Structure 1
Amino acid sequence: MKKIASLVFVAFLGGAISLVGFSYMMNNQRIDNNESISAVSNGFVSVPAHYSSLPNIAGEKTDFVDAASMSLDAVVHVKNTSMSTYYDPFSDFFYGRRNGQTRQREQVGTGSGVLISPDGYIVTNNHVIDNASSIEVTLNNRKVYQAELIGTDPSSDIALLKIEGEGFESIPFANSDAIEVGEWVLAIGNPYNLTSTVTAGIISAKGRDLGGNSSTESFIQTDAAVNPGNSGGALVNTRGELIGINTAISSQTGSFVGYSFAVPSNIAKKVIEDIMEFGNVQKALIGIQYDPRKDDLEGVMITSVTKGGGAKKAGLLEEDIIVKIENVKIRKFSDLKGQLSAKRPGDKIQVTVLRGETYITKTVELTEYKTLKINVLGFSVEKLTKEELKKYKIKSGVKIVNIKNSELQELGVSEGDVLVEINNEKVSSVDQVDKLLKEKSLMGYFKMGVLNSKGVKENYIFK
C-alpha cells in the first residue's frame, strides 16, 4: 500500500514539474513587441503568441443567425405579369410589307420585396413591377397575395405595394448615414427564383455613383452576392435592420461578379413616406449649380447659385466648396445628391462650406423641384398635388402648364390637363418625362396620353 502511494506521489510530482517547465519555456519564446514576424513557411506566417491577447475584431458580429432569422419572413417573392406588344413579321406575307399586324403576349418577371409594416406595405424596385398588369406576392411561409401598386418613383427605382392583412413580419429601418465601410451586411432575396436566400458581405463603399446615373447617385456598394431576382430585396445590418434595397449589380454577364448596389434606406424611407402622404415624391433643391469636371475636389464646388434658391438666401457664394451637410462629410456630388434625396422642400439643413481657408456653416432652406420645360413639345410640366390626383382618380401623372405650342392648343390640349402616358408608359414624375422624351422612340414618334379637364383620356401622336 505504501508502495502504491509512493508511485502516485512521484507521478503527481513529475507532472507538476513538467507543467512548470513547459510554462517557463513558452514564456521565454514570446516575441517582444519590437520584433518582426519572420517565420514564414510555405506561404503561412507564424503569428506571435501575444497577438492573441488583442480583441478579436474580425470575429465580432459574424454570427448572422439572429439577423437572418429576424429578416427572412419579411422578405417576399414578387411576380409581375405584363402585356407586351410585338410586331408580327409573318403577317407581311398576307398584308404586304410594313402593313403587318402587331400582337400582344404575356410576360412574367420576378424579383423581391421587403415588408416594412405589419399591415402589409412592401417596398421593392420600380423596375421589378414596371408596366405590370398584375402583381403577385409570395411570403416565406408560401402564402400568396395579390398586391396593389400604391405608387412609384422611377428616378430612385423605388415602388410601394400593399397586400391585405395584419400581423405580417416586417423589418425596421436603420439610419443608412450611420453605416461604415467594412461593416458586415446580409443581402436577402430570391435570386433565380431560389426563395429565401441569404448572402453575406461587407459594405465596400458609400455614395457610389454608377457611371453618372442621373437619378439616384448615392448607392451603397457591397460584396454580398446579389443576382437577378434579388432586386427589391433587403440589405440588412447584423441587427436585422434595413439599411438598403438591393437594386443593381456590376457585371458583364448579368450574374454577380463581386459588386452589388443598394438604394440607401434613408432615401427609400423618404420616397415611400412621400408616396403615402402626398401621392408623389417631393424633390428638394439646394439652389446651386456645379461643374462635374471639378468633381475631383474634396467636396462640391459651387459654380453658381440659383436666383431665389435657398443657397443664395443663406449667403452661399460661387467657388464655395460644400464639405458637410449636417454631420455628414461631402466628398463628391453623389454624397450631396444622396443627402438631398432624403430631404423635403422646406427642410432646413446645416451646410458647411470652405471659403478660401475658412470653414463657414450656413442654414439653408431647401426649395421645391417643381417645373420642367419641354422645348421639343412646347410646354412645361409640373407635379400634381394630392388633391389633383384625387380629383382625377389617378395615382400618377403630371400637369401640363405654360403651353407655347399653338398646334397643341388647336388639338384641344389645355393648361391644367394631365399627361399620364408617353409611348404607352405611365408617367409618375417630372423626372420621368424628361427621361422618356430623351430616349429614342422605337416607333419613331411620341405618343402622349392626356387626361382633359373632364377626365377623358385623349391620345396625341407627334412624329
Structure 2
Amino acid sequence: MKIVSRASLSMMIMLVSLIICTTGYSSIPVQNSLAPMLKTVLPSVVNIKADIKITDINTLRELQKQRSKNKDMDDQDPGSFVSVGSGVIVDAKNGYILTNAHVVADAQTVTITLSDGHHYTAKILGMDKPSDIALLQISAKNLSAIQMGNSNDLKVGDFVAAIGNPFGLNQTVTSGIVSALGRTTLGIENYENFIQTDAPINPGNSGGALINTQGQLVGINTAILAPDRGSIGIGFAIPANMAKSVMLQLLEYGNVKRGVLGIGAQDITPELASAFNINDAKGAAVTQILPNSPAEQAGVQVGDIITSINGAEIKSASDVVNTIGFLRVDSKVNLSVLRNNKPITINVTLSDSKKRKLLVAQKDPFLYGVGLKNFSVLSPVHGNVQAVLVASVERDSNSWHSDLRPGDVITSVNQHKINNIDELKTATAKSGKELLLNVLRGSSAIFLVINKES
C-alpha cells in the first residue's frame, strides 16, 4: 500500500482547495458533521435492561452450563437472565418508548436509563411478537422525543445513522446508507419488510433508532446477518411506518388483532406476466382461496392479480402479507385487481382467523382441520383397500386429540364401510355426538372415537 507523507498530504489538500476555488464550486456548502442534528436526537435513545424469566427448560439448562464456566454469573437468579437493548422515546409527554419485543419478552422488570444517566422502571403497555415491536412507558419529566419520519420515502442510497447501545456502550452512533428496501423471507419475523443498511449494528442495538439526515426516525434496528456476533455491514431495521401502525393498535387496544383475508399469493414474474397477458410484471397473483374466508365471500377468484390494497401499490406477494398483516380485524379493505386483464374493485371485510376456524368447525365438527385423500391400494396385509387417506391433521383439533394422525386410512364410519371422501362426509353428517372410525395404521387396524365436545 502506498503511504502519503503528512507534508505531501497537506500539499494535496491545498491543491484540491485551489481547484475548487478556481472552478467556481467554492460557494457549495460542505456538511462534514452530523453533530448538530445528533445533539437533538441522542437524548431520545435510551438503554433498556430487562430481567427475563426463563420458561423453557432447554434454555435454562444451557444457561446453567454457561454459569458453571463463568463465576461472575453466580450471584444471578438461576432462573433468569438480563436482556440488554435499546429503545426510542416517541412521545415525551406520555413517556412512550418503542423497542423490540424480543428485548422485553417475558420480562419481570424493565429498567430504562436515559442519556443523562437517570433510571426509571418501565411498564410494558403491549407487544407484538410477529412484528417484534413492543411499547413501553415511563413516568418522567423533561423527556426528549424523536420525530417520526415516513419510511416509505426512503430510497436505496439514502444516508442513515443507527443509534443504540451495542455491547452496553451507551449512545453509540454508526452511519451508512440504505442498502436495500423491502427485504423479506429472511426468517427473522413473521412479518418482514426490512430496511437493510450497512450502518454497523451490533448486539445491544436491538430496539434502537435508525434515522435519516433530518434526524427523523425511519426504522427500529432489530437484527444483523453475521457469521459471528459482530457486524459485517448487513443490518436490518423495521420500517417506522410499520412500527407506528403496531404502536397505535397497542395504545388503543393493548394488542394487535390481525384481520385475515384468506388467500394464497405469488409474485408476478415476467413469465407469469406473459402468461396472464399483462404488460406490468408487478402485483400478486391469487393462487388459493381458503374456504369460508372473507376473500371467498367477497368473490375473489384464483387468477386475480392484486395491484393495490386501499390505494397502496402492491408489487409482490410479500406486500400483500405485510399490508393485510397490519390491518385490524373488521377492517374494510379495497382490493384493486386485474381479472382477465380487466381492472375491477373488490370490497372485503377482514375477519378473525379464530372466527373462520369456528365456522369451519361448525360445518364439520368431527373432521375439521383434517386433510383427506381418496385412497386405493392392494395391500399384502389388508387386501384390496378402497378408503380415505388422512393426509394431514391440524393440532388442537378434535381429531388430533382423538389420536387421528397423518397416514391413517379410514375404512368405516359408525361401522359402515366407506370407499371415498363423499361417503365419509355423508356418514359423518348423520352422526350425533360421537363418530366411530375404523382406521388402518401400518399393519394394524384400530377404532377411534371423535367427540364434538373434545
Question: TM exceeds 0.5?
Answer: yes
1:353 matches 2:353: no
Asked whether the 8 Å contact 1:74–1:168 carries over to 2, the reply is yes
Does residue 302 in structure 1 map to residue 286 in structure 2?
yes
Code of the residue aligned with 1:300 in structure 2: it is A
> Equivalent residue for 1:81?
51
CA positional deviation for 1:165: 2.0
| SS of 1:255 mapped into structure 2 | coil
Q: CA deviation at 1:246?
A: 0.6
Of 313, 318, 337, the residue aligned with 2:321 is 337
1:264 maps to: 239
User: Following TM superposition, by how much is the alpha carbon of 1:294 offset from its aligned partner in structure 2, in angstroms?
Assistant: 7.3
Corresponding residue SS for 1:116: strand
Q: Is the 8 A contact 2:266 2:317 kept in 1?
A: no
AA partner of residue 284 (structure 2) = V
Partner amino acid, structure 2, of 1:217: E
Deviation for aligned residue 1:321: 1.8
Q: Secondary structure at the match of 2:152?
A: helix
TM-aligned CA deviation for residue 338 of structure 1: 2.3
Shift of residue 298, structure 1, vs aligned partner: 3.1
Assess if the C-alpha contact under 8 Å between 2:180 and 2:195 holds in 1: yes
Task: Please state whether the residue corresponding to 1:104 is helix, strand or coil.
Answer: coil
TM-score scaled to structure 2, two decimals? 0.62
Equivalent residue of 1:340, what SS?
helix
Per the TM alignment, residue 283 of structure 1 is displaced from its structure 2 partner at its CA by 0.6
Is the 1:77–1:190 contact (alpha carbons within 8 Å) kept by the matching residues of 2? Answer: yes
Give the corresponding residue for 2:435.
Answer: none
> Equivalent of 2:169, from 167, 172, 194?
194
Which range moved further: 185-194 or 207-216? 207-216
Cα shift at 1:274: 1.7
Question: 347-356 or 69-78, which moves further after superposition?
Answer: 347-356
Given that 1:351 and 1:364 are in contact with CA atoms closer than 8 Å, whether structure 2 keeps it comes out as yes
Aligned ranges for residues 339-418 of structure 1 at < 5 Å? 339-370=323-354
The Cα of 1:404 is off from its aligned counterpart by 7.0
Secondary structure at 1:215's aligned position in 2? coil
- Which residue of structure 2 lines up, in the alignment, with residue 290 of structure 1? 265
Equivalent residue for 1:227, pick from 202, 206, 217: 202
Structure 2 residue aligned with 1:117:
91
* Alpha-carbon spacing, 1:212–1:70, altered in 2? closer, same or farther (3 Å): same
Provide structure 1 residue ranges, at least 5 long, that are not aligned to the other structure.
1-46, 90-102, 381-400, 408-463
Residue 173 of structure 1 is matched in structure 2 by: 148
Say if 2:120 is the partner of 1:145: yes
**Aligned with 1:275: secondary structure?**
helix
The corresponding residue for 1:134 is: 109
* Distance in 1 (alpha carbons) for counterparts of 2:165 and 2:240: 19
- Unaligned stretches of 5+ residues in structure 2: 1-18, 55-59, 66-76, 273-280, 369-395, 403-454
| 1:133–1:171 distance in 2 versus 1, CA, 3 Å | same
Q: Specify the alignment match of 1:70 in structure 2.
A: 40
Q: TM-score, normalised by structure 1?
A: 0.61
Distance 2:227 2:143 in 1: 38
Q: 1:273 aligns with which of 243, 248, 257?
A: 248
1:32-52 Cα shifts (integer Å, max 9, x gaps): xxxxxxxxxxxxxxx999998
Aligned-residue Cα RMSD (Å) equals 4.0
Question: How far is 1:162 from its partner?
Answer: 1.5
CA separation of 1:205 and 1:364: change in aligned 2, threshold 3 A:
farther
Q: Which amino acid aligns with 2:158?
A: E
The residue aligned with 1:107 is: 81
The letter of the residue matching 1:70 is T
Deviation at 1:232, TM superposition (A): 0.3
- Alpha-carbon distance between aligned partners in 2 of 1:207 and 1:189, rounded to the nearest angstrom: 23
Give a deviation string over 1:57-101, Cα, whole Å, max 9, x none. xx9987533432222111100011234443879xxxxxxxxxxxx
State the 1:372 CA deviation.
8.9
Shift of 1:191: 0.7
CA drift at 1:264: 1.4
Change (3 A) 1:52 1:365: farther
> Take 1:366 and 1:69, find their aligned partners in 2: how far apart are those partners?
44
Q: Equivalent pairs: percent with the same residue?
A: 36
Work out the number of aligned pairs and report it. 328
Give the aligned residue type for 2:126.
Answer: G
